[in-house]
Amino acid sequence: MKMTKELSLSQEDFGLFESLFLEVCGIRLDRERNPFFLPAFFIRLKERGFQSPQEYYHFIKYHPEGASELRELIDLITVKETHFFRNKAQFDLLMESVLPEIVRRKERSREKEIRCWSAGCATGDEAYSLAIALRESLPSPSQWRLSILGTDINRKGLAVARRGVYEEKHLAFLPQAYLKKYFKSEGSGFSLNPEIKEMVQFEDHNLSKDPFTDERMQNLDLLFCRNVLIYLDERSSRRILDGFYHCLLPEGYLFLGHAEILWQMDHQFETLVFPQTFFYRKRVPGKAPEDLSPKTGEASERKALCPPPGIRSTLSIASQLANEGHYQEAADILKKIVEEDPTAVEAHHLLGILFLSSNRLDEAEDQFQKVLYLSPRAPIAYFHLGMLYLQKRRRREASRMLRNALRLLEKRPKEEKVEFCEEITVGSLLRTCKEALTQIPKGGSLE
């Protein structure tokens, strides 16, 4: 069959595939969250020679080969960028606090076994990172029974995982000592040592549709499922989290991505919030949780857990992610915060900053307007709106906003810190506002 015209995907056609993916694997085809979908869609359309999106949809839905074709499409759109020891803060806490706590508990019960599951493991980087973490953290690891399962819906990713050979980009955050200890050079990449490869088993598994009945998914001490749930619909996510709860041993640990906050499941999991990151532990009714502090007696920032998760600690994590350049993860956290509490003015402010940084001016404007609604005397919001309107060439509005900021700032001590911006003083923002006003022609004309 020959292609005869250039194809496009209407909103109606997009909706057909959106419903199909929700039905088959619980994936939300959000255009922002799934940038691989449209390129993958048109690649398959061209390779198979279909004349229209509707023809391709009906082939997948009703043809005997449709299920196989859908798997090809799923493989293309579920590409997940990952690397060894991704989210270093979580792996640091795993090795310094979580694994020592598990070891103490297991040695008391004389059950020297640790079971782990990396769900949504992509190309295996996370599962193998867990294996390395266990080898490095356990006293006499050869005396322990260790089980690590890696699962994913993407068959091509699993093929890479089983081979255990990785390009340099996958190893960019791997400590050099581990690279030398657990890898050897192979062509243009690096292959894992057999002692690490043999610790992990990989299986094809659809989290949204397949049962969690595999014996290796039961009685888990550690369960990693990071940056998977954000792609799924709420119904699938809740079913998966409920399944995870039953897979974990009492006091077992669940590690999710930073944007995957369990706002509504605090009855099942307690959230452990540290200055650098947070993760979850299965609640045991009527039992005081184990202390995660290292038994060294030394003061450490990582020792003391913050109070149960609140907006303040979550905002701190979002700010840290933004400062490190992880803008999408930071934005996802902030969106969760304002969904839960629309009056969280600092979250609106930081969202506005993130939208500004990615030139999404309309969305940034909306966030700063919300800041002013909630905090009408916040000069930083007037300043950002003024600069935003300058960028949009709406000079009269820019002038008005900057002058509002000036009026508020002039009443405050110059050394005082500006709300929501602890690194900025009133004096420095005042000077910046005055400089910005000089860019606007007298009268603040629109053009």
pLDDT tens-place string over residues 130-148: 999 999 999 888 899 999 9
Which tokens sit at 278?
Answer: 């947070």
> What pLDDT does 198 receive?
96
Res 422 pLDDT > 50? yes
Q: What mean pLDDT comes out for the span 225-233?
A: 85
> Per-residue confidence at 323, pLDDT binned at 50, 70, 90?
low
> Per-residue confidence at 392, pLDDT binned at 50, 70, 90?
confident
> What pLDDT does 267 receive?
61
User: Which of the given ranges, 201-215, 323-337, 375-389, has the highest pLDDT on average?
Assistant: 201-215
DSSP 262: -
Portion of the chain with pLDDT greater than 70, in percent: 86
Sort 224 into a burial class: Cβ within 10 Å, 0-12 / 13-18 / 19+: buried
Query: What sign does the dihedral 57-62-68-70 (CA atoms) show?
Result: positive
User: Which of the given ranges, 204-218, 247-261, 272-286, 421-435, has the highest pLDDT on average?
Assistant: 204-218
Closest CA relative to residue 59, chosen from 74, 49, 69: 69
> What pLDDT does 370 receive?
92
Q: What mean pLDDT comes out for the span 228-250?
A: 89
Res 44 pLDDT > 80? yes
CA distance 369 to 363: 10
**Is the pLDDT higher at 3 or at 187?**
187
> What pLDDT does 80 receive?
73
Q: Is it true that 88-282 and 324-437 share their CATH fold?
A: no
Spell out the domain ranges in the chain. 11-77, 88-282, 324-437
Res 151 pLDDT > 80? yes
Q: What mean pLDDT comes out for the span 104-112?
A: 90
Res 94 pLDDT > 60? yes
305-320 per-position pLDDT tens digit: 333 345 666 777 777 7
Which tokens sit at 341?
Answer: 């509490």
273-284 per-position pLDDT tens digit: 776 778 899 987
Residue located via tokens 């050869």: 142
CA distance 377 to 374: 9
> What pLDDT does 404 receive?
92
**Is the pLDDT higher at 105 or at 340?**
105
> What pLDDT does 34 receive?
65
Q: What is the mean pLDDT of the chain?
A: 84
> What pLDDT does 180 receive?
95
> What pLDDT does 10 receive?
86
DSSP 198: T
> What pLDDT does 348 receive?
92
Q: What mean pLDDT comes out for the span 59-66?
A: 91
> What pLDDT does 263 receive?
55
pTM of the predicted model as reported, rounded to 2 decimal places: 0.68
Strands in 274-320 per DSSP E: 278-282
Which tokens sit at 48?
Answer: 């198979």
> What pLDDT does 32 receive?
60
Res 293 pLDDT > 90? no
> What pLDDT does 238 receive?
87
Res 443 pLDDT > 60? no
> Per-residue confidence at 225, pLDDT binned at 50, 70, 90?
very high
Residue 67 zone, left/alpha/beta (φ > 0; ψ -120 to 50; rest): alpha
Q: What mean pLDDT comes out for the span 320-343?
A: 80
CB-based contact 338:344 (threshold 8 Å): yes
DSSP 96: I
Quick one: how many helices (H) and strands (E) in the chain? 18, 12
- What number of CA atoms fall less than 13 Å from residue 81's CA on the CB side? 7
Res 219 pLDDT > 90? yes
* Class of domain 324-437 (CATH, top level): mainly alpha
**Is the pLDDT higher at 238 or at 133?**
133
> What pLDDT does 312 receive?
64
Question: What CATH superfamily is the domain 88-282?
Answer: Vaccinia Virus protein VP39 (3.40.50.150)
Res 226 pLDDT > 80? yes
Reduce the DSSP state of residue 424 to 3 states and report it.
strand
Res 292 pLDDT > 80? no
